[in-house]
Amino acid sequence: MKKRPLLVALCYLILGILAGPRADAQATPRIQFEKYQLPNGLEVILHEDHSTPIIAVDTWYHVGSGDEQVGRTGFAHLFEHIMFMGSQHVPVGTFDQLLESAGANNNGSTTEDRTNYYEVLPSNALALALWLDADRMGFLLPTMDLAKVDLQRDVVKNERRQRVDNVPYGRADEIILAALYPKTHPYSWPVIGSMSDLSAASLTDVQNFFKTYYAPNNATLTIAGDFDPATVKKLVAQYFGSIPRGPEVKRRLTVPNVTIPRDTFLVLEDKVQLPRVFYTWHSVKGFSKDDAALDILAQIIANDKNSRLYKKLVYDLQIAQNVGAFQDGSRLDGKFQIDITPKPGQKVADIDRIVQTEIANVINTGVAPRELQRAQNLYKASFLNRLASVLGKAEVLNSYNYFIGNPDYVQQDAARYERVTAADVQRVAKTYLGRPKIVLTVVPEGKKDMMLTASGGGR
Amino acid sequence: MKVIGTTSALSALALLAVQSIASAQGTFDRSKPPELGPPPRVSLPPILTRQLPNGLRLMIVEQHELPLADFVLLVGSGGTVDPAGKTGVANLTSSMLREGTTSRKSLDIADQIAFLGINLSPTSSWESSTLSLHTPTAQLDSALALFADVALHPSFPANEFERIRKTRLTELLQLRDQGPAIANIAFPAIIYGSAHPYGLPLIGTEASVKSLTTADLQSYYQTNFRPNNATLIVVGDVSPAQVEQKINALFGNWQRGDVPQLNYNEPPKSGTTTIYLIDKPGAAQSSFRIGSVGVPRSTGDYFALTVMNTILGGSFSSRLNQNLREVRGYTYGAGSRFDMRRAAGPFTASAEIVSAKTDSALLEFMKELNGIRQAVPPSELSRAKRYLQLQLPGNFETTQQIAAALVPVALYGLPLDYFNNYVQNIEGVTQADVARVAQQYINPGSLAIVIVGDRKTIEQGLKAVNIGPIAIRDISGQLIQ
C-alpha cells in the first residue's frame, strides 16, 4: 500500500478536529498493480509497497485436488510437499536452509482449485526466492526419485493423522463430501486424500503431474513489497524466461450435476464425548450471483452471539455448546453447512426442531436491518484486514486474478457484500436451505441411536 | 501526563550490512544461489511512552499504512495469583469481561462489536491478562468507549456466569477427546506438581470451576485490574496527542490499588528421566512432550538460549524437525521451545508421532537432546543467527504484529531499545555459549517424557528402548490410584 497522499491526510485532520467520523475512511482501498506475461505464458503481477523492507513472492499454480483422478486422491497436496525437496540445482534439504539463512518465512498450501507457494523475506533476498521458485518450476524432475516421494508420503500421512484421524469429528468432512457430490465430481474427495490413495502414488504419477500442470503457462507469480519494478522485471525474465512453455492445460470447466432427491441421514461413530450434527446443502460456486448473500446468511444464522441459532441454542436455552455456519464457494461448485454440538445430555432431535424453526423463520419473515448491517460491517472490516501485510495483498491479487480473471477486484468484491439486501438473504435461505440436504451425526462409539433421522431420532 | 521518554528511529540491521557480501552484477549462472546484496537498513518504529497520574503506562507507536488501530490493555496479573483451590479464576474473569458492564448487557456488547466491525477479545495467561481491540479508525471513538467500558466496569452478572461456567465444564469434558490437549495439561502438572502455579491448568479443573462464584471473580478483578498494574499499548493510524487525550478521558478516573507481589514456591527438583505414559485408546498418533523446568524471562542467557533452541527445534530446518519429519517421516512436525515467564517456565520438545514409530521416535528425540550439548558446526550457528536477525523487520509489518511485539517489553520491563539491540545481541552469541547453555539447561538424565497414546500399541516398544522407567498416569498427569 502506498502512503496516502498528503492532501487526503490533511482532509482527515480537519475532519478529526471537527470531531466528525471520517466519511469513507473505512472504504476498501484499491491495490495498485502491474500485470504482464512472459513469452512462455507465465503471468506476473507486481505490487509496490515500501512501508516495510520486505517482499512477498507468491506463486499460484492452477491445479488442485479437483484435478486429481479417482484412485489418486490427495495427490496435488502430496506433490506440493515434494516441491520443497529440492530440484536440479538445489540439493535436497537446502531449500529451507537457504531461505532461513536469508530471514525468510515460507510455506505452501493446496485447495480443491489451486496450489500456492510463498516466501516472505527481506527485500535484499528477492533473487534467492526467484532462483528457488524458478528451479522447482523448470528443473524439478532431474533429481526426483522415489525416496523423496516416499518420505513426503509418510509426512503427509502424518499430516492426515494430525488434522483428520486423530482429531475429534475430523473425518466428518470426507463423509459429507462423498454423500453430497457424485463419485465423478472433483469435490467428492477431501484435499488431503485417503491413506490408500496416498500409498498408491508412484514416481511416474509425480512425473506426469509435473509435466501436465507445473509449467509457466499454468502459473501466476505475484510479487508484493519493497522493490524497484525495473529491477524485478529483469530478474523475473532472467530466472523464469527460459523455462519452456508446457502443453496447453485442459482443466475441467463444468462439474456433474448435483441432485439430492431427499434428505439423507448418515451416522459416524468417533472417539468423542458429545455428538455433533452437520447439515450440508448444495449451494453455489464462489463469486456467483448468490455467493455473497449466502455468506451474509451464514453470519446471521450462526456466527455471532446475536445470531439466530447461537442466541437460541447456546445463549438462551443453553442446550448447545457451539454452533457454526459457512458458505463455501469454490471455483466450480459450492456448499452451505451448519454444525451444532449439543451440551451433555441434550438430544439432537430437540435441537433439530429448533434449527428447522429458525431456518423457517428466516425463510418466512426475513431478517432485520440490524442483523444485516452487523454482518455487512464485519465483512467490510475484513477487507481492510486482508490488506495489512504484503503476503495478504499478494494473496488477494492472486485470488482475484485466478477466480475472476482480474487482480483489480477487491473494491468490487467488497461492494458485493454492501449490495446484499434483506430480501436477498431471505430469498437465498428459501432457495438453498429449502433444498434436500445431507445430515450427518457424529456420535460417540456405540451410540448410533443418538443419530438424527428423518423421523427425528437422536436420543 | 508526564513524558517518560521516547526512543528514536534506528537502523537495527546496520551491523549486518557491513558484514554482507556486496551485490554482484555478474553473469547469470543458475547452478549457484544468487549472491545477495546487504540486508535493508531497518527503522523499527519509535515507541512513545507516557504515564497517567493514576499510574497507567501508555506505549504508542504510529503506523499509518491503513486506517486501522490496535489497542492492548495489558494487566500484569494472571493465573499465577489464582487462590488455592480456585484455579481458573483469572481465566474466567477475562472470559466474563464481555458478558456485561454496569451499563451494557452481554448481547448489547456483542451487537456493538459486530456493528462496529471490530475485534474485542480478552485473554489471560500465567502472569498477564489482556484486552485487545482491533478497529477501523473510522469507528475509533465508539470502539474505544466500548473497550474502556468492558475493561473498567464489568458487572459479572450471575446468570451470565452460570452460562459461562457450563460452557467451561463442557470444554473440560471435550478435552478428553484430544491427545495433544491432554499432553499440554499433563506435562506441566508432572514437572511442576500441584504446589506450583505453573503446574495447574489456566482454564481450571472440573472441581475448581464448579466451586467458583462471581465473588471470586470480583475479588480477583478488584485486586488486580488497577492502572498501576497495567500498560495500554496503542499501535496504528492515530495521532499520539489525540489518542492520549481520549485515553485520559476514558481511563483517567481508574483508581489505583495495592496489587500484591507475586510469590512462587520453588519448583520441585527434577528426578531421573522417566516416561509418563497416558493411555488414549485407539489414538492414531502419540503426543510427545519432553522437557523440564527451564528459565525465567530475566535470564542472562536469553539470547544464547534463543539461538540454541532455534538450532534444536525452533525453525523448520532445526534438528528435531529435520530428523523426525524430513529424514524419518515419523511426524508432520517436531520442535522445541523455552517458555520464559517471570519465574522459570518449562522447556518442552514436542511432536505428534505416528503410533507405530513411538519407540523409534523417542530414540531420535534423545539423540538430538544429547547432540545439542556438543559443539554445533559454525554454518549451523550462522544460519540460526541470520534467521533470527533477518526476520525482525517482518515481525513489525502490521499493527497487530507491532502491538504483540510490545507486550513482552511491557510485561517483563525490557528496555525500550530492546529491538534496536536485538541484532547485536544475537550476533554476540558464540559456539561456546550455545554449548554451555545446552549443557546447563538440557539434561538428558533428568527429563520428564510425557507420551499420550494408545498404550496397548506403544508400551512394549517404550520398555524395550530402555530410556527410563515407565509410570502410568491419568489424563491430568496424576498418579492412578
CATH topology identical between B48-251 and B274-473: yes
Give pLDDT tens digits for B419-430. 999 999 999 999
Q: According to the model, what pLDDT value does residue A29 have?
A: 92
Map grid coordinates 481458573 to a residue.
B88
Across the interface, whether the CB atoms of A306 and B114 are under 8 A apart is answered yes
Average pLDDT over residues B336-353: 97
Across the interface, whether the CB atoms of B167 and A100 are under 8 A apart is answered no
- Residues of chain B in contact with residue A382, where contact means CB-CB under 8 angstroms, are 117
Q: Give the ipTM.
A: 0.93
- In chain B, domain spans: 48-251, 274-473
Across the interface, whether the CB atoms of B136 and A159 are under 8 A apart is answered no
Q: Does A262 touch chain B (CB under 8 A)?
A: no
Confidence of residue B263 (pLDDT cuts 50, 70, 90): confident
- Residues of chain A in contact with residue B454, where contact means CB-CB under 8 angstroms, are none
Across the interface, whether the CB atoms of A273 and B315 are under 8 A apart is answered no
Average pLDDT over residues B56-63: 97
Q: Whole-angstrom Cα distance, residue A368 to residue B386?
A: 55
Q: According to the model, what pLDDT value does residue B346 have?
A: 98
Across the interface, whether the CB atoms of B398 and A389 are under 8 A apart is answered yes
Across the interface, whether the CB atoms of A388 and B400 are under 8 A apart is answered yes
Give pLDDT tens digits for A28-58. 999 999 999 999 999 999 999 999 999 999 9
Q: Looking at CA atoms only, how far is residue A125 from chain B in angstroms?
A: 6
Give pLDDT tens digits for B95-114. 999 999 999 999 999 999 99
Q: Does A8 touch chain B (CB under 8 A)?
A: no
Give pLDDT tens digits for A111-167. 999 999 999 999 999 999 999 999 999 999 999 999 999 999 999 999 999 999 999
CATH of domain B48-251: 3.30.830.10
CATH topology identical between A34-240 and A264-457: yes
Q: According to the model, what pLDDT value does residue B102 have?
A: 98
CATH homologous superfamily for the domain A34-240: Metalloenzyme, LuxS/M16 peptidase-like (3.30.830.10)
Lowest mean pLDDT among A190-199, B6-15, B100-109, B340-349: B6-15
- Dihedral over Cα of A175, A176, A177, A181: its sign: positive
Across the interface, whether the CB atoms of A93 and B326 are under 8 A apart is answered yes
- Residues of chain B in contact with residue A375, where contact means CB-CB under 8 angstroms, are 114
Residue of B19, B317, B395 for testing the chain A interface, max A β-carbons within 10 Å: B317
From the options 3.30.360.10, 1.10.10.10, 3.40.50.720, 3.30.830.10, give the CATH code of A264-457: 3.30.830.10
φ/ψ of residue A435, rounded to 5: -75, 160
- In chain A, positions 169-188, which contact chain B (CB-CB < 8 Å)? none
Give pLDDT tens digits for B369-392. 999 999 999 999 999 999 999 999
Q: Average per-residue pLDDT in chain B?
A: 93
Q: According to the model, what pLDDT value does residue B153 have?
A: 98
pLDDT per residue as tens, chain A (459 positions): 233 332 332 233 233 232 233 334 568 999 999 999 999 999 999 999 999 999 999 999 999 999 999 999 999 999 999 999 999 999 999 999 999 999 999 999 999 999 999 999 999 999 999 999 999 999 999 999 999 999 999 999 999 999 999 999 999 999 999 999 999 999 999 999 999 999 999 999 999 999 999 999 999 999 999 999 999 999 999 999 999 999 999 999 999 999 999 999 999 999 999 999 999 999 999 999 999 999 999 999 998 999 999 999 999 999 999 999 999 999 999 999 999 999 999 999 999 999 999 999 999 999 999 999 999 999 999 999 999 999 999 999 999 999 999 999 999 999 999 999 999 999 999 999 999 999 999 999 999 999 999 887 665
Across the interface, whether the CB atoms of A304 and B39 are under 8 A apart is answered no
Map grid coordinates 492502572 to a residue.
B227
Q: According to the model, what pLDDT value does residue A14 have?
A: 30
- In chain A, domain spans: 34-240, 264-457
From the options 3.60.20.10, 2.60.40.1080, 3.30.830.10, 1.10.10.10, give the CATH code of B274-473: 3.30.830.10
Q: According to the model, what pLDDT value does residue B265 have?
A: 83
C-alpha separations of B257 from A261, A455, B56, B61, B157 in Å: 67, 61, 12, 28, 23
Q: Order the strands of the B57-62 sheet from edge to edge.
A: B2-6, B48-51, B57-62, B230-236, B68-75, B129-136, B119-124
Q: According to the model, what pLDDT value does residue B27 have?
A: 60
Maximal C-alpha separation, chain B: 74
- Residues of chain A in contact with residue B284, where contact means CB-CB under 8 angstroms, are 161, 165-166
Q: Does A32 touch chain B (CB under 8 A)?
A: no
Across the interface, whether the CB atoms of B117 and A1 are under 8 A apart is answered no
φ/ψ of residue B253, rounded to 5: -90, 5
pLDDT at B359 over 90: yes
Q: How many CB atoms lie within 10 A of CB B249?
A: 12
Q: Whole-angstrom Cα distance, residue A102 to residue B388?
A: 10
Maximal C-alpha separation, chain A: 69
CA angle, residues B179, A267, A294, in degrees to nearest 5: 90
Cell numbers representing residue B307 in the block? 539461538
pLDDT: which is higher, A18 or B54: B54
φ/ψ of residue A56, rounded to 5: -105, 130
Q: Which residue of A has its CA nearest to B239?
A: A13
Q: According to the model, what pLDDT value does residue A305 have?
A: 97
Of B64, B111, B178, the CB nearest to A306: B111
Q: Looking at CA atoms only, how far is residue A128 from chain B in angstroms?
A: 6
Across the interface, whether the CB atoms of A52 and B394 are under 8 A apart is answered yes
Are A206 and A76 within 8 A, CB to CB?
Answer: no
Q: What percent of chain A has pLDDT over 70?
A: 94
Give pLDDT tens digits for B146-156. 999 999 999 99
> Is-above-0.80 flag for pTM?
yes
Q: Looking at CA atoms only, how far is residue B119 from chain A in angstroms?
A: 9
Residue of B111, B397, B400 for testing the chain A interface, max A β-carbons within 10 Å: B397
Tell me the one-letter amino acid at A265: F
Tell me the one-letter amino acid at B455: R
Q: According to the model, what pLDDT value does residue B270 have?
A: 87
